[in-house]
Structure 1
Amino acid sequence: MPSAETIAPWAPDWATHPGEHLAEFIEARGMSQAEFARLAGMTSKHISTIISGENPVTAESALRLERVTGMKDYIWTRLQAAWDLHQARQKERAKAEEWANWCREFPIKELVARGAIPDARRDMGRQIESLLAFLGIGSPAAFQSLVRGLAVQHRQSRAYTTSDAHVVAWLLLGERKARAMDIAPFSKEVFLEAVREIRSLTVKSPSEFEPRMRRLCRDAGVALIFEKPVPKTCLFGSARWLDDGRAVIQMSLRMKSNDHFWWTFFHEAAHILLHHGRTFVDDKGGEGDGVEEEADAWAEETLVGRRLFEAFKATRPCSAAEVTRFAADVGIHSGIVVGMLQHAGIVPHTHLNGLKARFAWADEVG
């Protein structure tokens, strides 16, 4: 994804029709338009309409103008192209009022703060142009085509609602980072091995596991992106594929405890390994469907082993010692086990939280 500078490079907000330059040349030479037309082998009417801006300078006209004026043909055609673009841009900006409400559906302030678009909030026309460029669409009417093209399967919370505009903005913020990364071609086998090693990192601190995690994923062809959520969403994570066949796991760092963080990672890793080519976005407390249940089952099996966990749940564990012992036996952090027991309804959400590790990165952008 291009940077804000390449999205909206500086360009003057004006242009002159090549006819103005032609009129200046004729006047400077003391000619009449008819005299110039005869020298150029063109009709007086044609010269008159170029000067008035009614007719464009075509490639053929540019060749003739060069021969008489000495100004290169490509300069004439560039002047015409600049004029045409300026006129088209002015027409688009005239739609700014019509498109303003659509633009306001997006987290503009956040996109500016993260360098995705330039700060043009005082100029609605420029703001819309920069947003369209960030989204990679030609007009607001194309936004739903973008949404359909992403084919997002949204595991959405029952308690919260999110808009397509915010979800897509968050995904594209992550995609911008992913495309800038140098990662290997995707390998399912290598990624599966990477996930197994990452499981052993759950007992480490973020300063230890985070760089190793990123590297293992990168070497397997998966871009691991930490991108804080945008306002008015409860996004935890997503799994998707870029058009070059590489995968992206994007995590919002909304998770303030390690059980949520690690469950989200392994859930999204499951989507990458089990559901190739699809896009998944998960909200806080989202309800699962068949595919989501598959990802949950895979995450549980990978983290603790489903049979082992079922047997452990059957003992109705309620003490820190029991949980700590089981976590040590399976080789993961005890906080993850607490979170799984709470989710299963074995332990109240108010109990054993002291076993969880707390992360202070919820407001950071990775």
Structure 2
Amino acid sequence: MPNTETMTMWAPDWATHPGEHLAEFLEARGLSQADFARLADMTPKHVSTIIGGESPVTADTAIRLERVTGMKDYIWTRLQAAWDLHRARQREQATSAKAADWCRKFPIKDLVARGALASPGRDVAGQLSGLLGFLGIGSPTAFPALARGLAVHHRQSQSHATSDEHVVSWLLLGERKARQMDVAPFSREVFLAAVQEIRSLTVKRPSEFEPRMKQLCRDAGVALIFEKPIAKARLFGSARWLDDGRAVIQMSLRMKSNDHFWWTFFHEAAHIVLHQGRTFVDDQGGEGDGAEEQADTWAADVLVGLKRFKSFRATRPRSAAEVTQFADEIGVHPGIVVGMLQHDRVVAHSHLNGLKERFEWADEVE
């Protein structure tokens, strides 16, 4: 028989509780648990819980076991230590696997690329810690509450799957930028005036209108953020308020034509004007609720003047010349008028697209 006192450096990935060895001893000697309890001066319940793997073999218990079984006390404590390590490794592996699964729900590569997270490599614990810090929560179980508070979906996609983890990540990327901006206290009156000037910028190129519209928004107390899209956050824009009272309009630049870009901005601006203190996240292809209908109406009226646009729409315009003349009269880019006519099914989506301006900037804007 091998010497039971011989210890080697072999570290198997399994272990047995010392209670199993005690059970084997009782079986070999033909002793009942009650008999052994009397011999060892232990309670039957204590012997039973050791054999069942529920109670550990402490140093005091090991001394008693040595006296009855003849197996050295340190062998019993080593068996217990090996079992404890084995269980600790199992718990760590389970925790790491669970943490890794949770982290995989987030756009880690995007967050690393945008400087929100350090590259984690294979360090699951480091990745988890960094992600929790970025989210501003103490543990993964707090994420649902964060998501409910941040991403209130009033317009949610019906045709594309969105991920709360990706939506929240995108929003927080924008929030990081917004908190670093020097923004004036919010003024509804100043913002309304800014919106009117921004409307006049719709005929300009991005290199001209982008810096000016951002400055106008800052002066009115609104942080305008252009944040590149994330795959499973199929968002065009959001409007919300931070805890310091500043408003944030965040645009993904997923839109590639100027009509969609400008509609998104004015729609989010409407939420800032009409729905102070609330959060709105607009998904691709989403369906609106009452607040969304209000924002749509406000945006349309500011952009084209609803009464005037309805009169023009009633003429059933078909030519580029007609659309261009109307757009010049009201002072907006003709692509915006085309987009609204297409939305109202007056013009086919394949018609008059040459009047729109295409934007290829989603991967360039930081």
Please, what TM-score do these two structures have when normalized by structure 2?
0.74
Map of 1:307 onto structure 2: 307
Match of 2:267 in 1: 267
* Paired letter, 1:179: R
> After the TM superposition, which parts of structure 1 deviate over 4 Å for at least 4 consecutive aligned residues?
91-94
Quote the Cα distance in structure 1 between the aligned partners of 2:310 and 2:285.
Answer: 22
Aligned to 2:365: 365
Q: Which moved more, 1:109-118 or 1:226-235?
A: 226-235
Which runs of no fewer than 5 residues in structure 1 stay unpaired? 1-90
Instruction: Write the distance in 1 (CA, Å) between the matches of 2:121 and 2:165.
Output: 18
Partner of 1:333: 333
> Is this contact kept in 1: 2:227–2:251, CA < 8 A?
yes
Aligned to 1:258: 258
- State whether residues 151 and 278 of structure 1, in contact with CA within 8 Å, keep that contact through their aligned partners in structure 2: no
Alignment-derived partner of residue 186 in structure 1: 186
Give yes or no for contact 1:96–1:128 (8 Å, CA) kept in 2.
Answer: no
> How does 1:156-167 map onto structure 2 within 5 Å?
156-167=156-167
Aligned residue in 1 for 2:10:
none
Q: Name the SS of the counterpart of 1:338 in structure 2.
A: helix
Aligned pair 1:354/2:344, yes or no? no
Q: In the TM superposition, what is the alpha-carbon distance from 1:338 to its structure 2 partner?
A: 0.3
Query: Structure 1 residues 187 and 93 mapped into 2: Cα distance closer, same or farther (>3 Å)?
Result: farther
Amino acid at match of 1:108: I
Using the TM superposition, give the Cα deviation of residue 310 of structure 1 relative to its aligned residue in structure 2, in angstroms: 0.8
Question: Residue in 2 aligned with 1:223?
Answer: 223
- Does the aligned pair in 2 maintain the 1:160–1:233 contact within 8 Å? no
The code of the aligned residue for 1:225 comes to: I
Check whether the contact 2:154–2:292 (CA below 8 A) recurs between aligned residues.
no
Aligned-residue CA RMSD (Å): 1.4
- Listed as ranges, the gaps of 5+ residues in structure 2 are 1-90
Partner AA of 1:183 in structure 2: V
* Residues 323, 338 of structure 2: 8 Å contact kept: yes
SS of 1:232 mapped into structure 2: coil
Q: How much does 1:103 deviate?
A: 1.0
Map of 1:60 onto structure 2: none
| TM-aligned CA deviation for residue 154 of structure 1 | 3.9
Q: Secondary structure at the match of 1:156?
A: strand
> How far does residue 298 in structure 1 lie from its aligned partner after superposition?
0.2
Which residue number in structure 1 is paired with residue 121 of structure 2?
121
Query: C-alpha displacement at 1:346, in angstroms?
Result: 0.5
Distance in 1 (CA, whole Å) between partners of 2:92 and 2:127 is: 12
- The offset of 1:151, in angstroms, is 5.4
Per-residue deviation, residues 298-337 of structure 1 (Å, max 9, x unmatched): 0000001111111111100010000001001110000000
Secondary structure of 1:231 counterpart: coil
Name the CA distance, whole Å, in 1 between partners of 2:364 and 2:93: 35
Which residue number in structure 1 is paired with residue 297 of structure 2? 297
SS of match in other structure, 1:233: coil
Measured in 2, the distance between the counterparts of 1:180 and 1:128 equals 25
The Cα of 1:94 is off from its aligned counterpart by: 7.4
Alignment of 1:37-76 (within 5 A): none
Asked if 2 retains the 8 angstrom alpha-carbon contact of 1:93 and 1:125, the reply is: no
Q: How far apart, CA to CA, are the structure 1 residues paired with 2:267 and 2:327?
A: 19
The change in CA–CA distance for 1:92 and 1:302 in structure 2 (over 3 A counts) is farther
Letter in 2 for 1:102: W
CA distance in 1 between partners of 2:109 and 2:243 (Å): 28
Q: Contact 1:267–1:299 at 8 Å: present in 2 too?
A: yes
Contact 2:170 / 2:233 at 8 angstroms: preserved in 1?
A: no
Is the Cα–Cα contact under 8 Å of residues 217 and 223 in structure 2 kept in the other structure?
Answer: yes
Instruction: Give 1:231-246 correspondences, 5 Å limit.
Output: 231-246=231-246
Post-superposition shift, 1:93? Answer: 9.1
Q: TM-score, normalised by structure 1?
A: 0.74
Q: Does 1:169 align with 2:154?
A: no
For 1:217 and 1:93, locate their aligned partners in 2 and report how far apart those are by CA, in whole Å.
Answer: 49
Question: What are the Cα deviations for residues 84-111 of structure 1, in whole angstroms up to 9, with x where unaligned?
Answer: xxxxxxx999722222211111000100
* Matched AA of 1:326: F
Q: Is 1:140 aligned to residue 136 of structure 2?
A: no
Q: Please say which structure displays the higher CA radius of gyration.
A: 2
Contact 2:151 2:281 in 1 (8 A): no
Q: Which amino acid aligns with 2:332?
A: I
Structure 1 position 352, deviation (Å): 0.3
Structure 2 counterpart of 1:153 = 153
Shift of 1:288: 1.1
Letter in 1 for 2:189: E
